[in-house]
Every structure is written in structure tokens, then in C-alpha cells.
Amino acid sequence: MILAGDVGGTKVHLALFDFINGKLQHTRDTRYPAREYSGLEEIVRDFLGQESVTSACFGVPGPVRDGRLRLTNLPWTLDSRELSHSLKIDHVFLINDLEANGYGIAELSPEQIFTLSEGDPRQIGNRALIAAGTGLGEGILAWNGKMHVPMPSEGGHCDFAPRNEDEIDLLRYLKQKYQGRISFERVVSGMGLTNIYDFLRDVRGMEEPAWLHDRITEEDPNAVITELALSAKSEICERALDMFVAAYGAESGNLALKVLSIGGFYIGGGIAPRILEKLKDGSFLRAFTDKGRLSQLLINMPVRVIMESRAALMGAAAYAEARAAELSGISHRAASISL
């Protein structure tokens, strides 16, 4: 049995996987509110109980150095060696969360992916991955001539690049709000959607009815904004989602250019599946391909949305099995085929 984890700033998602005929088989999973626990070790013990695992891998937000990471949004420091010792798991690995998502792509079935743009599917080369959720993750899948090798990136923390008057004024508003530089994550993420809404209300003077103010205050503002935008029940929410999706598309196009992702561009994270109908209306792709003389390069790139919420867990499980097999000489995936 393999333990996989997706560690975020607000929740920790754990799952157990096995292999049947060489394919990952999900056994069970649980989500935990991260801030209610003292650390990852406590959550893992609660999840596993008396169950034992042969290897584990956790996708984590941020750069991992020598098997160690200090989380930005939680007061936790994770060390793969310490986790292995304390949890009595022979092989424990920490990898960037977008790297885990990248490994997960190879495990997905066609039904778990929605094609937003066919592009030119004959092209072979690098791929790229972007994922807006609590934060903004970006990843690279480098083509080495035989396979795509996932590589981490912290591109979501690059400087926000406004493209029109609304976004220029949004940048000014956010610079004042955060008293400093503004990254794309401040715009394209859960906090980003709320930031855009606040900008439209406070700077553009768009109306926020009392009933909407109450819902925004009492409920998850991102869920409220998304719901009312998609149902066309609030002008300010519709406009906020319009700006969000355009900025999402623009930064996706930036990443695609930097990586030259002619082999395909993937949109992951928790937000994309929830706003799929909005992504399908063309506004995302218009911003994605609006790159001047290089627009045709972007038009030719296949663009796909990952619909499977466990993609990062699947990637973490696949990574754990492969790396443990390298170290131990025993492959559970291969063994499941020969049974």
C-alpha cells in the first residue's frame, strides 16, 4: 500500500493507493483542516491508524531542498528523513505540489481530462501545467525525447503584468493593499478572485447590494462570487470572474511561451473544474493566445483541463512507487502485472 498526500495551506488531502494490473487503484482518502493539527505527522497517524504502508510521497507548496521544506502558510517544517523515522515508513518523499500534479497527468484516463482547445495534437515537445487554487502553482513537463519529466516552478510568484486600464488600476489598488510588489498569485487564485471583486466595488464603484454583502461576509466569498457569476445573478460578480479568467488565460499564455509547451498545456487546481463553463466561453483562450507575433504558436498548443480532483495524489503515489522501486529493487506496479 502507498500513502499519497497533497499538503496545502488550508487542507491536507491523504489517500491510499495500490496497483492492479499496473494501474493505480484508489483505496480511500480523507481531507483534514490543516490548521487544526500541530503538524503533518499527527494527521498521517490519524489517517493510517494501524494500517502500514511501504512508501509515501507528499506534494507540498514550495521549493523542496534536500528533502526539507518550511511551509509558507503554515508553521510547519517538513523533513522526509524525520517523517520516515517517526512514522516508520521505509521510503518518504517530498516533492513540489505541481510536480506531483505533473506525475499525475500520466495516470489519468481520457475521461478525466477536458479538451479546451485541440490545437495541433501532432506536436511533440515540452508541456506546461498551471493550477489556481488557494495559491497559484506552475510546473514544467520537460520532454527528454522519450518521456515528459515533471519539474517544479515558483512562477506563480512572478510579478503581475497588467495588460489594460482595468488591470493597471487593479495593480495600483493591490500595491496599496499589500504595501509592496504584487505577484500573479494575488490575482489568479482564490484570494485573487476576492481581490478583483473588492477592486470593482471599492475603486470602480460597482454596486454591492445588501443581500450580496451579507452573503460575501457570512459565506466563502469565492464560492459566492463564482455561483452568482455563473448564474448571471450579479453584475459585479460576473465582471470579477471575467477579469479573473482573462488574467488566468494571460498568465497561462506567458507560461506556455516560457516553456514552449507545444506538447500541450494543462490547467489543474480546484478552481478550473468549477468554472469550466466560463472557461469554455472563449475568454480564457483569447487571453491565452493574445501574444502578438507569437499568437499562432499558442493557437497550435492543445489546452486541456484536469477534471480529476485526485490528480496530485495519483502523481504522488506514482512517484513514491517509482522512487522506492529504484531504491529497493522491488516494484509493486510491475509485480501487479505479473500476478
Q: How far is CA 92 from the centre of its chain?
A: 22
Report the pLDDT averaged over residues 111-137: 95
What pLDDT, on a 0 to 100 scale, did the predictor assign at position 99? 94
Q: Mind listing the pLDDT tens digit for each residue in 68-99? A: 999 877 889 999 999 999 999 999 999 999 99
Please report the domains of the chain, with CATH numbers, ordered by start residue: 2-100+310-338 (3.30.420.40), 109-307 (3.40.367.20)
272-301 average pLDDT score: 97
Query: For all residues of the chain together, what is the average pLDDT?
Result: 94
What is the rounded end-to-end Cα distance, in angstroms, of the chain? 16
pLDDT at 339 over 70: no
Sort 276 into a burial class: Cβ within 10 Å, 0-12 / 13-18 / 19+.
Answer: middle
Which set of grid coordinates corresponds to residue 200? 470593482
Answer yes or no: are the C-beta atoms of 236 and 201 closer than 8 Å.
yes
SS (H, E, C) 194-223: HHHHHHHHHCCCCCCCHHHHHHHHHCCHHH
pTM score, whole prediction: 0.93
Query: CB within 8 A of 104, min separation 6: which ones?
Result: 306, 308, 310, 311, 312, 313, 314, 315, 316, 318
Average pLDDT on 280-301 reads 97
Q: Which of 189, 151, 152 is nearest to 62 (CA)?
A: 152
Kindly state the average pLDDT of the residues 259-277: 96
Cα–Cα dist 233/220, whole Å: 17
What percent of the residues of the chain are helix, what percent strand, and what percent coil, each to the nearest 5?
45, 25, 30
Q: What is the DSSP pairing of strand 55-60 with strand 23-33?
A: unpaired
Q: What is the band of 338 on the pLDDT scale with cuts at 50, 70, 90?
A: low
Residue 310 has what pLDDT? 93
Q: What are 183-204's pLDDT values in tens digits? A: 999 999 999 999 999 999 999 9
Q: What is the mean pLDDT of residues 268-276?
A: 95
